[in-house]
């Protein structure tokens, strides 16, 4: 249960790190369920731009989440080394 809460926090933090245009399209499409033609009307852009922004947002979000996982694993390894008295 706690893992799910941590994952949600990491996801929310990563979404906040997205550039504003990426974040807006991502939230409108993947969270709120708008279609690309509706997003284009809301944002005053083309449908193609909406699709492109969503693709870039998802790609960047994956990268951010993977960075978080790597950082978390690195921290856990450092803690384990400290607890066992190992040094680099």
What pLDDT is stored for residue 6 in this prediction? 67
Domains of the chain: 2-81 (1.10.10.10)
Question: What is the C-alpha to C-alpha distance for residues 62 and 70, in angstroms, rounded to an integer?
Answer: 12
What pLDDT is stored for residue 50 in this prediction? 98
Q: For every residue of the chain, which 3-state class applies, written as one string?
A: CHHHHHHHHHHHHHHHHCCHHHHHHHHHHHHCCCCHHHHHHHHCCCHHHHHHHHHHHHHHHHHHHHHHHHHHHHHHHHHHHHHHCCCC
Q: Express each pLDDT in 2-36 by its tens digit.
A: 567 768 888 999 999 999 999 999 999 999 999 99
Is pTM beyond 0.85 here? no
Q: Looking at per-residue confidence, does 80 or 47 come out higher?
A: 47
What pLDDT is stored for residue 25 in this prediction? 98
What pLDDT is stored for residue 76 in this prediction? 87
């Amino acid at each position: 249960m706690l893992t799910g809460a941590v994952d949600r926090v990491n996801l929310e933090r990563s979404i906040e790190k997205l550039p504003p245009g990426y974040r807006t399209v991502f939230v409108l499409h993947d969270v709120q369920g708008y279609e690309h033609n509706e997003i284009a009307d809301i944002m005053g852009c083309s449908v193609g731009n909406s699709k492109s922004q969503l693709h870039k947002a998802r790609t960047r979000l994956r990268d951010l989440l993977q960075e978080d996982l790597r950082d978390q694993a690195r921290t856990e390894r450092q803690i384990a080394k400290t607890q066992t008295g190992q040094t680099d």
